[in-house]
């Protein structure tokens, strides 16, 4: 069994937690991925439900007099009658019914559904601490906070700060260890970050796919 000294470990804390919760979490912050995963799961379920609702947005109703009697006499004939009425309506755009029949459509109300999707997008954006313009291609750029004061420019600055103040020292320490093992001069190595303000081809393709 091998043990690594704590000086050899690179530690990056998770999302902020109050002290009493951090103690329960073995001294670590909250998982960044779990928070986003829960919000994404709710968003995905809602989008699927919305798709199913739109698919069944309009339902055709065929009203037939004495339908109970027809079911008892010849159920197969009644089913054929309904299918033919639906087929004629779909193919010709005209419904042909008998004197004692009536065909009409019932639409499912979807009032408030678009706003609900936007709220869920804001929830995902807030959980990921990332503007909607980066996640969904929504140019409002809000992080989903109630104040809406955060925008994409602020997010870019936050990422740059995290890269320079948190990630760079850790990676440079690892580079020092690796260069010593490989016999490479550390001073000849240079760490550079991709400019977060430039939207790459991969991000553009992923955003286009989401929309």
Q: Which two tokens stand for residue 191?
A: 């760490």
pLDDT digits (tens, 9 = 90+) for 76-117: 777 777 777 777 666 555 666 666 677 767 777 777 777 878
What is the torsion angle, in degrees rounded to the nearest 10, for the CA atoms of residue 144, residue 28, residue 154 and residue 119?
-10
Same domain, 103 and 172: no
The pLDDT of residue 104: 66
Distance between start and end Cα atoms, the chain: 50
Q: Which two tokens stand for residue 204?
A: 């553009």
Give the pairing of strands 58-64 and 101-107.
Answer: antiparallel
pLDDT digits (tens, 9 = 90+) for 181-193: 888 898 888 888 8
d(CA 41, CA 46): 9
The pLDDT of residue 90: 63
Residue 1 lies in a domain: no
3-class SS of residue 202: helix
pLDDT digits (tens, 9 = 90+) for 156-176: 888 888 888 888 988 888 888
d(CA 85, CA 93): 11
Same domain, 139 and 48: yes
d(CA 162, CA 156): 10
CB atoms within 10 A of CB 148: 12
Per the CB < 8 A criterion, the answer to whether 191 and 168 are in contact is yes
Q: Which two tokens stand for residue 4?
A: 């690594």
Which of the residue ranges 14-23, 119-128, 134-143 would you say has the lowest mean pLDDT? 134-143
pLDDT above 80 (res 59): no
Same domain, 74 and 169: no
Question: For the chain, how many structural domains are there in total?
Answer: 2
Q: How confident is the model at residue 200 (pLDDT cuts 50, 70, 90)?
A: low
Give the domain range for residue 170: 38-53+112-210
Q: How confident is the model at residue 64 (pLDDT cuts 50, 70, 90)?
A: confident
């Amino acid at each position: 069994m091998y043990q690594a000294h704590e000086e050899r470990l690179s530690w990056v804390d998770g999302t902020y937690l109050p002290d009493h919760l951090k103690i329960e979490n073995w001294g670590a912050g909250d998982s960044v991925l779990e928070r986003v995963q829960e919000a994404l799961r709710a968003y995905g379920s809602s989008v699927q439900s919305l798709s199913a609702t739109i698919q069944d947005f309009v339902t055709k109703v065929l009203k037939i007099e004495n339908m109970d009697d027809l079911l008892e006499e010849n159920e197969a004939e009644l089913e054929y009658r309904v299918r033919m009425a639906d087929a004629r309506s779909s193919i010709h755009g005209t419904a042909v019914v008998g004197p004692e029949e009536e065909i009409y459509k019932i639409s499912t109300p979807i009032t408030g559904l678009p706003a609900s999707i936007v709220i869920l997008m804001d929830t995902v954006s807030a959980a990921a601490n990332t503007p909607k313009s980066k996640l969904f291609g929504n140019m409002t750029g809000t992080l989903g906070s109630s104040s809406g004061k955060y925008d994409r420019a602020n997010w870019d600055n936050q990422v740059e700060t995290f890269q320079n103040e948190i990630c760079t020292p850790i990676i440079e320490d690892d580079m020092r260890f690796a260069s010593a093992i490989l016999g490479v001069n550390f001073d000849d190595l240079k760490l550079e970050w991709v400019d977060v303000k430039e939207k790459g081809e991969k991000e553009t393709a992923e955003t286009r796919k989401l929309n």
